[in-house]
Amino acid sequence: MRIDILTLFPAMFAGPLTESILKRAQEKGLLSIHLHNIRDYTTDRHRTTDDTPYGGGGGMVMMVEPLVKAVEDVRGADQHVPVILLTPQGRVFTQRVACELAAHDRLILICGRYEGVDERVRQLVVTDEISIGDYVLTGGELAAMVVVDAVARLIPGVLGARWAAEEDSHAMGLLEYPHYTRPPVFRGLVVPEVLLSGDHQAVERWRRREAIRRTWERRPDLLLIAPLSEEERWFLGELAEDEALRRAVHP
Ligand code: ADE
């Protein structure tokens, strides 16, 4: 997959892209990331990329011309590449959106700055807008890194064979079950016995149930759409009953 990132601050990307899994993905040729400085597409002496908003008001607006020129240059003849603007006004980024983006072989990400971008950038070149959450960052760069990271690890071969992205938290529609590793006892806290039993079926059942329990406790909204078996629905019913009981006793 090829990802082009348009930004005023390419140096911000150095750390995340040159370490660990993203670094290896690039070395293996599974991912290529190209950073483009939007300032290189300005035409005036001062290399201006922002200006005051028409109609007044505070803040600055990213100018239409450098951004549109940058997208057109980077996109080349390929009119079908998604051009994604990172903005708090976009659709919220979820695992589902990450999977959707991972199915493309190219993406162009635009990192907005200042108060926003000239609306005509949206009208002319943007095909999708993504927000990584309901909070406002100083710019789209950190959001772009989040998107690159979540998408890259879904590319086949990026994670090792023993590390299945399909079993991730959220990929199954549930939060993950609790994990343990050595030692079996630490400060009196013991690892659940079933995990030491060697009974793979029992381990699998325990993990599914704990994933459901955790999702019920922390993100019950996810259970509305999680694919659960009949038995797992019963288990969920028991959790709900327990809670109703607890509330009745300790209102
Ligand atoms: N730019 C500023 N805030 C953002 C957010 N929450 N998501 C994506 N891009 C942004």
Number of domains in the chain: 2
Does the annotation count 88 as an active-site position?
yes
- Same structural domain for residues 125 and 201? no
If asked whether residues 122 and 191 sit together in one domain, one would say no
Q: Which residue, 104, 127, 152, sits at the end of a domain? A: 152
Identify the CATH number of the domain in which residue 242 sits.
1.10.1270.20
Nearest CA to ligand 1 atom 9: 87
Does residue 179 lie in a domain region? no
Q: Kindly state whether residue 86 falls inside one of the protein's structural domains.
A: yes
Rounded Cα–Cα distance for residues 84 and 74 (Å): 13
Gap from CA of 186 to ligand 1 centroid (Å): 41
If you take atom 10 of ligand 1, which residue's CA is the nearest one?
87
pLDDT tens digits along 64-103? 999 999 999 999 999 999 999 999 999 999 999 999 999 9
**Is 143 in the same domain as 194?**
no
Per-residue confidence (pLDDT) for residue 160, from 0 to 100? 79
Of the candidates 61, 50, 148, the one whose C-alpha atom is nearest the C-alpha of residue 108 is 148
Least Cα distance to 98 among 39, 165, 12 occurs for: 165
**CB of 146 closer than 8 Å to CB of 131:** no
Half-sphere exposure for 31 (CA within 13 Å, toward CB): 25
Q: Which residues constitute the domain of residue 114?
A: 2-152
Look at the pTM and tell me if it is higher than 0.85. yes
- Determine, yes or no, domain membership for 168: no
Flag whether 178 is in a domain.
Answer: no
Catalytic residue among 65, 100, 115, 210: 115
Do 84 and 27 fall into the same domain?
yes
Clarify whether residues 63 and 137 are in a common domain.
Answer: yes
Stretch 221-226: mean pLDDT, rounded?
Answer: 91
Q: Does 157 reside within a domain? A: no
At 84, which CATH number? Answer: 3.40.1280.10
| Whether residue 105 sits in one domain with residue 48 | yes
Could you list the beta-strand ranges (E) of 118-231. 128-131, 185-186, 189-190
Residue 162: inside a domain, yes or no? no
Residue 158 lies in a domain: no
% of the chain at pLDDT higher than 70: 97
C-alpha 133 – ligand 1 centre gap (Å): 7
- Residue 8 and residue 39 in contact, taking contact as beta carbons nearer than 8 Å: yes
Burial call 169-179: b when 16+ CB within 10 Å, e when fewer: bbbbbbbbbee
Q: What does the mean pLDDT of the chain come to?
A: 94
User: Do the domain assignments include residue 159?
Assistant: no
| 137 shares a domain with 85 | yes
